[in-house]
Structure 1
Amino acid sequence: MSAERPIRTGARQALTAADGSSVRELAHPDWSSAESLSLAEAVVAPGEATFLHRHRRSEEIYLFRSGAGLMTLGDERFAVGTGDCVVIAPGTPHRLENDGVEPLVLLCTCAPAYSEADTELLEAGD
């Protein structure tokens, strides 16, 4: 575990997550002092979308920091944008689509912590 305080977002390397989004992991039990949850910043580029997916065990909370897009959550589809917060129950299919002109940026927390093994892709994406 790291005692790094604060964790500098800009110093974290962006990776491509299983859902296709660009992610900077900000806290995770594997390498930080977080014990049971994780926090990441995700970016969906204009015209792009994540793959429809679900997490078998993890509950997620999305907080949208900038941009605009469409979210699929179970059988619902709705607009999301700056300041919106969405809670995603374990097992619920979800997907983000950036239909705007600027990056869709969000913070995502998972409890228990994110695990690629917990992510089930439900489509190959666009």
Structure 2
Amino acid sequence: MTTYRLADAAQLLGVSDDTLRRWADSGRVTSVRTDDGHAGIEGQALARLARDLADIPSDGADAGSHRVSARNHLRGIVTAVKRDTVMAQVELCCGPYRVVSLMSREAADALGLDVGVVAVASIKATNVVVEVPW
């Protein structure tokens, strides 16, 4: 079973070490001791917490009244919007990740996408590479 140090788990979740410690103290997530005596989070518990934090149903349904086929949803905050006459480039910060989307200006305007707005990036791709860090 993989166990992550609190600092590493917090980074993966996009929260501070202190936040994760408070969640462990309150019972929101169960902490364990690592082999070197530090507080840690087991991988499966970390994955459950990450899914809970994403606040997106895993069956492809969103919180509204429609269903979508894209399974990869990243909730974040809009950090930049560049609009021209036809297109808009929207940047989201989703935890530690930066996601950039190109869409029509009309779509960005209709969604009210501006800096500070919470949005969800739905990613559907036919070619996704997953790597494990060394």
TM-score (norm 1): 0.27
Radius of gyration: which is bigger? 2
Higher helix content, 1 or 2: 2
Higher strand content, 1 or 2: 1
Structure number with the bigger relative contact order (C-alpha 8 A, sep ≥ 6) is: 1
